[in-house]
Structure 1
């Protein structure tokens, strides 16, 4: 291999590949000692899947001090450079050309943020994973065969990463060779294609950041498409203009509703329905829309949602004057009591 010692060039090599990089303070001096000769890259998933997985990788966990890898790959394709020194990530195992049970001193570890039990790998993250591995191996002068999954190395039954390493390595080999890259799927563009029958012309050039600085959105003639790396498994979701009017009243993604989690449902001739992180929006054609959420929402769901006896919501939750909350529906009302009970009040009757 072409390098012995700590890979202090990690951030530069990744940036040169056109990848987004965050350098953590002190990363060049962080590690459990200095590398010997570098021989490859080991791929992992974090098994958490959330925005704070990097903290465990950097700081460690009870019984295993950090760093636990040199790099963390976020779901939006951003690399966090955690350490230049040795990290405890490999465990016991073997691979041709690598020291048995001793890869930590010779192999760079990458932890991709994913829960490992069904969470989708966003296209942007997988693209960055391949390109990052290729860039490092190109710097080392090594082949794609030295891009190894933890599950392939381990003699301890490790299962990460939970994607196919054979096809992954084939793409890494193509990238090392400098072949034209496969096009990267933009999630908002992909959702626009799915919604092309109704969403209309694009109004936003490119994408705009949401208020949290993490998500993105783009406006179209008949709706808006939202994307966040930790919502809906990193896939974008379109919200029709009919519901956007109500969504705006509740603060868009910054309000309690948060980001959309499902595509909207059209009830022909009646209205639109769409689920969000903090509740579900219902809007009948020709009327205002309202969210249904919380304990009242659960009781309404048990009653059959909008197709049940209560029908569609015709108000938001409001103070019922006795310390609780109430919400009106077409054919009745639900009230929440601080004790936790929900009382169903139909026209002309009172019933629990």
Structure 2
């Protein structure tokens, strides 16, 4: 745990990492501390989001009717670059899994997020990356690189490793942001932390670029066979199930109300069977248990994930 950086030290850390930083008017005193009576900190890590929209810098600053701003500490646009949005407590993480927070604090491997029993706004810095998050909206190499630098800068300032970095989808059940692979992102942060501070050169396309999350076929099959008959709320493979359900929702095979709980239940099995029949499968090949061909096609069509066997 650590005391949050001051506004001045935050700016200095980001600029030292090679970032160009823009400052939204009023950002240095824009927070939810007084309104909630809960000061920000101690801090234990950084959290990465996508905004699920475009042109949403001002939204992240002001917030919504049901969720006052700031909605992050920094906003990273595709073309507008990195902007400071708030300093202090921000409404970005929400209710998260305490076990995951403990792992971030200890800098150990993150467990599956199957509960929402702690307040992540207390202790996590938040970055919102401008992206639709639908798997088909690319992250420009320069934007992704800036996200890596942002995370590395805060980790370096606090003496943290890349194990203090998480995606929203890894701390709060039902979330799928950001729509790139967090293990790859952490590996890129690790490389940056090992590098000596230098002025950044041009971004090389394909080097340290955003990669899609991976769904493990064998784990997903186990979930599809186990979850329907298990007790209510049982979760076998939350991350993969959530991605598959999001893909089925996006393609119209599953109602949104049935997605995001991490359980590959009977409704999800029925929706997946519809997808299999759409692809031309019949009989036992359209029983709602994913196969490599149908799962690969679902990942490719939705753009949300790739498949590993």
Superposition TM-score tier, normalisation by shorter sequence: 0.5 to 0.7
CA contact (8 A) 2:74 2:82 kept: yes
1:140 and 2:158 equivalent? yes
Corresponding position of 1:91: 94
Q: CA deviation at 1:143?
A: 1.4
Corresponding position of 2:64: 61
CA contact (8 A) 1:77 1:124 kept: no
Seen in structure 2, the aligned counterparts of structure 1 residues 174 and 77 have a Cα distance that, compared at 3 Å, is farther
1:103 and 2:114 equivalent? no
Seen in structure 2, the aligned counterparts of structure 1 residues 14 and 84 have a Cα distance that, compared at 3 Å, is same
1:35 to 23, 37, 40: 40
Distance between the aligned counterparts of 2:71 and 2:175, measured in 1? 15
Distance between the aligned counterparts of 1:105 and 1:184, measured in 2? 36
Corresponding position of 1:159: 176
1:45 and 2:63 equivalent? no
In terms of mean alpha carbon deviation, does 96-105 or 35-44 score higher? 96-105
Distance between the aligned counterparts of 1:159 and 1:186, measured in 2? 27
| Larger strand share, 1 or 2 | 1
| Structure 2 SS opposite 1:175 | helix
1:177 and 2:186 equivalent? no
Larger Rg belongs to: 1
CA contact (8 A) 1:20 1:77 kept: no
Distance between the aligned counterparts of 1:80 and 1:69, measured in 2? 10
Q: CA RMSD in A?
A: 2.3
Seen in structure 2, the aligned counterparts of structure 1 residues 96 and 64 have a Cα distance that, compared at 3 Å, is closer
Seen in structure 2, the aligned counterparts of structure 1 residues 5 and 173 have a Cα distance that, compared at 3 Å, is closer
Counterparts of residues 261-340 of structure 1 (less than 5 Å): none
Distance between the aligned counterparts of 1:44 and 1:24, measured in 2? 19
Corresponding position of 1:126: 144
CA deviation vs aligned residue, 1:11-45 (integer Å, no higher than 9, x gap): 22111112111111111111001312111100000
Counting matched residue pairs gives: 184
Seen in structure 2, the aligned counterparts of structure 1 residues 175 and 24 have a Cα distance that, compared at 3 Å, is same
CA contact (8 A) 1:69 1:87 kept: yes
| Larger helix share, 1 or 2 | 2
| Structure 1 SS opposite 2:83 | strand
Distance between the aligned counterparts of 1:119 and 1:179, measured in 2? 32
The TM-score, its normalising length taken from structure 2, stands at 0.55
Structure 1 gap ranges (5+): 188-352
